[in-house]
Copies of this chain bind each other. A is one copy, B any other.
Amino acid sequence: MKPKKLTAPQVREVLKKIHFTGFLGVRLAGLHRDGLTLACAVRKHLLNSAEVLHGGVTATLADAAAGVALHYLLGSHRAITTVEMKINYFRPVSEGEIFARAHLVRMGATLCVGRVDITDERRRMIGTALITYMILANRGAAS
Contacts and interface: CB of A to CB of B under 8 A. Distances in A.
Interface of A: 14, 17-23, 44-50, 54-57, 59-61, 63-64, 67, 79, 81-90, 92, 105-106, 108, 110-111, 113, 115, 125, 128, 130, 132, 134
A138 to B, nearest CB: 15
Nearest to A129: B130
A60 B56 contact: yes
B83 A83 contact: yes
A127 to B, nearest CB: 9
Given A89-B83, A134-B111, A60 B49 contact: no
A90 B125 CA distance: 25
